[in-house]
Amino acid sequence: MKSYPYILAILFITSLAACGLQKTEESTDPVDGKFIIGYVFPGNRVMSGSEINGALLTHINFAFANIVDGKMVEGSPTDSINFAVLRKLREQHPHLKILISVGGWGWSGNFSDMALTHQNRAVFIQSAIEFLKKHELDGLDFDWEYPGLPGNNNIHRPEDKENFTALLHECRQALDELDGDEKHYLLTIAAAAFSGYLEHTEMDVVAEYLDFINIMTYDFTGEWANITGHHTNLYKPELDSTAMSVEGSIELFVNAGVPAEKLLIGAAFYGRSWQEVSPENNGLGQPATGLAGTDLKYKSILRDYLSDPAFLELRDTSAAAPFLWNPEERIFITYEDPESLKRKAKFVNDKGLRGIMFWQYFGDHEETLLRVIFDEINR
């Protein structure tokens, strides 16, 4: 990617000035033993420190770094400036940890080659350590989507399974051996929620090297499917005994040998939608055509759909999941709301899990969803 030093310098000065003018309330550690982790994905724009409430988070996973020529690099020209904004936020909230997430759906294509040999892994790990030190970050989050599987038409190999384990083991060793650093650098992953992911990884082994695991318990279904459903439901719906659920995903990881206290469930600050839906059962579990290209961040759902009387606000009590149904236009929307998050927070506490992570911070509306997570997980 190209860099634009003159423009970035101006943006950097402007951003720091904005941070300096910001007045924040006194911060305290928001969670006693439970984590609230927000993925922050600004894209190629400069954030303001006032956009993020560090008092309601324990960790920020900045998305994403890329892998180029086997090394970890900034994903966007504005990343260095945004890291400065986050460091300023951390000064105001000393409990807050800032991690860099590498990969994601769009940038997982070079993982398999990078992890293929010990030499390749060593080159990457050295670049990752330099990245962490340069930007004064607290840890590294791997978002490989997915080892041994194509994901977004990515290169993948059967040996990804063992190579992923080796990558995490060698990375943990390198982070622990950093000279002159008294801090513990965090090492985490974003893990897929489906059984195929467990078949292509060694979760019982890698869990020993990881501080915790963020399970992406969302996108269970979406506009790529020809049947409507819930995309981030807590429990399996009565209507579909084969459907995925948060509860089912947790059972997969625990049965694979991962301690419950190392697991975080995922929450979605966005929805998925279909059109041309058959009207039976208010559109739930019905044949349909995916409705792609629609802005379904939670704040957009509030503005454009929940405020529209044409959309019925309904709930599948068996799945602990809300949905919207427009019978005239035959549009179905699956999403997350405050009530579903209350149930998820209770589930985390009841099951002894580590906490909740969510994708992503800028999808919320005036901290509506984040505040529910914060309040309920602290009960």
Catalytic residue IDs: 145
Q: What are the residues whose beta carbons fall under 8 Å from the beta carbon of 160, sequence distance 6 or more?
A: 111, 112, 115, 147, 148, 200
10 Å Cβ neighbour count for 91? 14
CB 341 within 8 A of CB 376: yes
Q: Which residue has the tokens 């930007």?
A: 135
DSSP, collapsed to helix, strand or coil, labels residue 178 as coil
Backbone Cα Rg of the chain: 21
| C-alpha to C-alpha distance for 350 and 117, rounded to whole angstroms | 42
DSSP, collapsed to helix, strand or coil, labels residue 212 as strand
Give the DSSP letter of residue 223: T
Q: Which two tokens stand for residue 83?
A: 């890291």
Cα of first residue to Cα of last residue in the chain, in angstroms, is: 46
| C-alpha to C-alpha distance for 355 and 223, rounded to whole angstroms | 28
Q: Which two tokens stand for residue 230?
A: 């819930």
Degrees (nearest 5) of the Cα angle 274, 235, 367? Answer: 70
| C-alpha to C-alpha distance for 267 and 347, rounded to whole angstroms | 12
Give the DSSP letter of residue 317: T
Q: Which residue has the tokens 């293929």?
A: 116
Cα separation values, 124 from 3, 25, 111, Å: 22, 39, 10
| C-alpha to C-alpha distance for 46 and 27, rounded to whole angstroms | 24
